[in-house]
């Protein structure tokens, strides 16, 4: 207990929260800290064991971190604290502490949906994520993603624009959110959501930290949707952790010709459920929130006002479908009979147009145009 007493001389009474902060400052790695806590039963017990740490250097790090915590209003949470996300108890290798900048939602009242995907060449995934995020937060949920460019940014931005809450799980310290291009978005999230990390303050982005970030995204969520992922996308790590944590997992179908969607399509081949309609989110929300379908459903999935869409420059399949639906309501079989395209191509075109809010699906597999067409 002598070592614990020396820490107490620096910081006053050392409880489990402070002990985990000290331990993380010493090892700088959530995985190592987790092993030590599991091995000794608590961080307090781990601190009492002889080690070769430079205790003065560790103490200085913690003292500096305490000043930054106070300056930025960052909260440090450990299991058992009020505000600790209850759903992490059933997650795969849950974090041992969380730094929170901003305010986490009440997860029981506002269940988390993970929306993840590629950073580059992700225009399709960005459109999908933006639409799904807006629907989810209007239903009453919270969108969780990784704060990266591409799909993550679209999910966070759309959640805020729709008046909802969103949480970014970072692979850096919450005082150094990455990437810099998202600075204004991160500032909005601190005001109306939260930045979360299990890494010490001051941590820069390094590759080994990103899988841990993805694990925490999955752990915080009740379900995860892969909006678009290439064959080696980091979003696939999140999908793997979602399955290991017993979370519902969905992927969005896409063109087989788009290499940027190869990872998403591979999930479909492996049997992951396809998310093809915004209406599915209302059903999912009802399941995870254990409530009837929200009364806000109609407003949540309401289509945008009629816009002007120019046909020139659109892919041929989208152009053909829009022209067929101009001022008409047609059954999917009528579209298939009239258009010279394969069922797979037609289904993808309808999905793309529906996610853009350019068409609306009505009862009985009938479709109507929701935009004004400029030829």
Cβ(147)–Cβ(44) under 8 Å? no
Do residue 290 and residue 328 come from a single domain? no
Q: What pLDDT is attached to residue 311? A: 86
Counting the structural domains of the chain, the total is 3
Residue 80 lies in a domain: no
Domain-ending residue, one of 12, 36, 71? 71
Domain-ending residue, one of 277, 300, 323? 300
Residue 121 lies in a domain: yes
Domain-ending residue, one of 300, 329, 358? 300
Residue 81 lies in a domain: no
Cβ(85)–Cβ(111) under 8 Å? no
Q: What pLDDT is attached to residue 269? A: 94
Q: What pLDDT is attached to residue 358? A: 85
Residue 315 lies in a domain: yes
Mark the ranges of the chain whose per-residue pLDDT is less than 70: 1-6, 291-308, 327, 363, 375
Do residue 236 and residue 350 come from a single domain? no
Do residue 314 and residue 294 come from a single domain? no
Sheet holding 359-362, edge to edge: 329-331, 366-369, 359-362
Do residue 294 and residue 184 come from a single domain? yes
Backbone angles phi, psi at 282, to 5 degrees: -65, -40
Strands 366-369 and 165-169: unpaired
Q: How far apart are CA 176 and CA 374, in angstroms?
A: 46
Residues paired with residue 374 on neighbouring β-strands, in sequence order = 310
Residue 14 lies in a domain: yes
Q: Which pair of tokens denotes residue 194?
A: 């939260």
Q: What pLDDT is attached to residue 19? A: 92
**Total-model pTM:** 0.79
| CATH at residue 245 | 3.40.50.450
Do residue 314 and residue 345 come from a single domain? yes
Q: Which pair of tokens denotes residue 90?
A: 């059933």
Residue 79 lies in a domain: no
Count CB-CB contacts under 10 A for residue 98: 26
Residue carrying the six token digits 């529906």: 354
Q: How far apart are CA 83 and CA 279, in angstroms?
A: 31
Report the chain's terminal Cα–Cα distance, integer Å. 80
Residue 220 lies in a domain: yes
Q: How far apart are CA 140 and CA 62, in angstroms?
A: 38
Q: Of 73, 320, 69, nearest to 202 (Cα)? A: 69
Do residue 157 and residue 279 come from a single domain? yes
Do residue 158 and residue 246 come from a single domain? yes
Backbone angles phi, psi at 182, to 5 degrees: -100, 20
- Spell out the residues 6+ positions from residue 170 whose beta carbon is closer than 8 angstroms to its own: 146, 147, 177, 178, 195, 196, 197, 199, 213
Do residue 114 and residue 249 come from a single domain? yes
| pLDDT tens sequence across 72-121 | 999 999 999 999 999 999 899 899 999 999 999 999 999 999 999 998 87
| pLDDT tens sequence across 296-334 | 565 555 544 446 678 888 899 999 999 888 867 788 988
Q: What pLDDT is attached to residue 123? A: 77
Q: Of 265, 210, 250, 208, nearest to 234 (Cα)? A: 210
Helix %, strand %, coil % for the chain, to 5?
50, 15, 35
Do residue 184 and residue 211 come from a single domain? yes
Give the domain extent around 370. Answer: 308-374
| CATH at residue 334 | 1.10.10.10
Do residue 99 and residue 59 come from a single domain? no
Do residue 219 and residue 277 come from a single domain? yes
Q: What pLDDT is attached to residue 303? A: 42
Residue 347 lies in a domain: yes
Q: What pLDDT is attached to residue 1? A: 46
Do residue 213 and residue 95 come from a single domain? yes
């Amino acid at each position: 207990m002598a070592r614990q007493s020396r820490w107490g001389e620096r910081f006053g009474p050392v409880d489990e929260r402070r002990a985990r902060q000290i331990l993380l400052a010493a090892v700088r790695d959530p995985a190592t800290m987790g092993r030590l806590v599991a091995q000794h039963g608590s961080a307090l017990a781990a601190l009492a064991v002889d080690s070769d740490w430079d205790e003065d250097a560790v103490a200085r790090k913690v003292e500096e971190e305490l000043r930054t915590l106070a300056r930025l209003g960052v909260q440090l949470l450990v299991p058992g604290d009020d505000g600790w996300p209850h759903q992490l108890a059933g997650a795969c290798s849950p974090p041992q502490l969380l730094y929170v900048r901003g305010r986490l939602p009440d997860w029981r009242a506002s269940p988390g949906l993970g929306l993840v995907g590629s950073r580059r060449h992700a225009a399709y995934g960005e459109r999908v994520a933006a639409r799904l995020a807006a629907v989810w937060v209007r239903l009453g949920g919270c969108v969780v993603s990784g704060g990266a460019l591409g799909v993550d940014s679209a999910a966070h931005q759309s959640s805020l624009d729709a008046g909802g809450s969103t949480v970014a799980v970072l692979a850096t310290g919450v005082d150094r959110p990455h990437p810099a291009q998202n600075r204004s978005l991160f500032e909005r999230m601190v005001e109306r959501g939260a930045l979360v990390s299990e890494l010490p303050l001051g941590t820069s982005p390094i590759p080994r930290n990103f899988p841990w970030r993805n694990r925490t995204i999955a752990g915080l969520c009740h379900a995860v949707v892969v909006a678009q992922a290439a064959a080696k996308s980091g979003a696939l790590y999140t999908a793997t952790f979602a399955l290991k944590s017993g979370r519902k997992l969905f992927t969005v179908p896409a063109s087989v010709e788009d290499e940027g969607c190869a990872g998403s399509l591979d999930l479909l081949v492996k049997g992951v459920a396809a998310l093809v309609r915004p209406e599915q989110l209302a059903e999912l929300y009802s399941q995870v929130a254990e409530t009837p379908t929200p009364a806000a459903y109609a407003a949540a999935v309401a289509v945008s006002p009629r816009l002007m869409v120019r046909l020139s420059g659109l892919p041929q399949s989208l152009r053909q479908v829009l022209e067929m639906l101009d001022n008409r309501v047609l059954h999917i079989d009528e579209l298939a009979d009239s258009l010279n395209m394969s069922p797979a191509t037609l289904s993808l075109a309808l999905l793309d147009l529906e996610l853009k809010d350019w068409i609306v699906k009505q009862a009985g597999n009938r479709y109507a145009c929701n935009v004004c067409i400029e030829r």
